Amino acid sequence: MHPPLINSYSAFLQRRFGRKVRKVAVDAGFSCPNRDGTISSGGCTFCSNHAFSPGRLELPHSVEDQVRLGIAKLSHMFPGSGWLVYFQSFTNTYSEPESLCEIYSQALNFDGVVGLAIGTRPDCLPDETLQVLERIADDYYVQLEIGLQSANDATLKAINRGHGTHEFIDATNRAKGRGFTLCAHMIVGLPGEGMDDYLKSAALISSLGYDIIKIHSFHLTQGSAMADAGFDESGFMTLDEYAEAAAAIIERLPPEMVVERVAGTAYADALIGPEWCSKPALVRSRIEACLKARNSWHGKLFAKDG
């Protein structure tokens, strides 16, 4: 009997905490150096953060209020769960250490909260910030999510990412050994990329010892620079193409690496395409079908390639 088709995040959390744990997403009002002029004022060309957080301007003032309301809402659907507060929107380490400490502390002040998940960029992790997170990790679970998107520096430049693979490798190496669970983000289907690029990105993440990977499907939403420039929708991957690529990545990952996400998602009313990105359950089932058709599973080819 072979291992699971995909080493899932929900199973990982169940093993880690001995019960179901759910994410409660919050928006702490952070900005991004790729938007505020520090690096660029345009941001990544694919990014339109309001498509993932459409209520940003209407959110309660404090992180504490958001956590309270989020837990109250989700508790009805998932009674008995633990909670992982997810700082999702924009760059969630982009502030002074003292401010970060205050913001993160607000999120931890609730029964049932087991820790934090913090999404950020590799160029926004100075040692002082890592030290703040390290102190939190003494008492709570800390999942540090670092966006790579692609290991191709030419692609990163083309999408105005504002950093290269060097910054990703440096931030990862400085974050290791501090008690964090490390999660990397990559995108499949960026313009100009192909299978060799996707496998290169996944191989870099694997080589650096990441615990978790999020595999996002390239998609565009209203308000992104690429969409405003008139992106040719024929450049989107089909669902079958994406599923085959994701399956090829997953079968080459280390067996112990957890796959938290296998598709990028956005609110349907903001999504330009591809249309299937609004159906994450369908995407996952298609990837699993590809793995079954290949008589493959998570990590089957890792030893051969690694």
Helix (H) or strand (E) holding 142: strand 141-149
Res. 48: pLDDT tops 50: yes
- Reduced to 3 states (helix: H, G, I; strand: E, B; else coil), residue 143 is strand
CA 105 to chain centre: 22
Residues 6+ apart with CB under 8 A from 38: none
Give the whole-number percent of the chain exceeding pLDDT 90.
Answer: 77
Q: How far is Cα 195 from Cα 249, in angstroms, rounded to an integer?
A: 9
Q: Averaged over 39-45, what is the pLDDT?
A: 84
Q: What is the pLDDT of residues 139-168, one digit of tens each?
A: 999 999 999 999 999 999 999 888 999 999
DSSP per-residue letters across 192-226: T--HHHHHHHHHHHHHTT-SEEEEEEP-EETT-HH
Res. 55: pLDDT tops 80: no
- Reduced to 3 states (helix: H, G, I; strand: E, B; else coil), residue 100 is helix
Residues forming a β-bridge with 116: 85, 142
Res. 56: pLDDT tops 60: no
Would you state the pLDDT for residue 248? 98
Greater pLDDT, 138 or 233? 138
* Domain spanning 9-299: CATH superfamily: Aldolase class I (3.20.20.70)
Least Cα distance to 278 among 290, 266, 291 occurs for: 266
Greater pLDDT, 184 or 304? 184
Res. 58: pLDDT tops 60: no
Our CA dihedral for 131, 62, 114, 265, rounded to 10 degrees, sits at: -100
Q: What angle do CA 143, 105, 79 make, to 5 degrees?
A: 65
CA distances from residue 193 to 152, 189, 198 in whole angstroms, order as listed: 9, 6, 8
Res. 59: pLDDT tops 70: no
- Reduced to 3 states (helix: H, G, I; strand: E, B; else coil), residue 50 is helix
Would you state the pLDDT for residue 126? 97
Would you state the pLDDT for residue 306? 46
- pLDDT band at residue 40 under the 50/70/90 scheme: confident
Q: What is the pLDDT of residues 222-268, one digit of tens each?
A: 888 888 888 888 889 999 999 999 999 999 999 999 999 998 777 77
Would you state the pLDDT for residue 194? 97
Q: Averaged over 166-177, what is the pLDDT?
A: 98
Q: How far is Cα 206 from Cα 194, in angstroms, rounded to an integer?
A: 19
- pLDDT band at residue 49 under the 50/70/90 scheme: low
Res. 102: pLDDT tops 80: yes
Give the largest Cα separation in the chain, rounded. 54
> 126-155: buried (b, 16+ CB within 10 Å) or exposed (e) per residue?
eeebbebbbebbeebbbbbbbbbbbbbeeb
Q: Which two tokens stand for residue 159?
A: 């999408």
Q: Which residue has the tokens 């899932």?
A: 8
Q: Which residue has the tokens 């002029």?
A: 37
Would you state the pLDDT for residue 203? 97
CB-CB contact of 29 with 63 (8 Å): no
Least Cα distance to 206 among 241, 274, 255, 145 occurs for: 255
Would you state the pLDDT for residue 60? 57
Would you state the pLDDT for residue 202? 98
Q: Averaged over 49-66, what is the pLDDT?
A: 64
- pLDDT band at residue 45 under the 50/70/90 scheme: confident
Q: Which residue has the tokens 């760059």?
A: 91
CB-CB contact of 71 with 24 (8 Å): yes
User: What are the boundaries of each domain within the chain?
Assistant: 9-299
- Reduced to 3 states (helix: H, G, I; strand: E, B; else coil), residue 273 is strand
Would you state the pLDDT for residue 225? 85
What DSSP state is assigned to residue 62? S
- pLDDT band at residue 57 under the 50/70/90 scheme: very low
Q: What is the pLDDT of residues 6-39, one digit of tens each?
A: 999 999 999 999 999 999 999 999 999 888 889 8
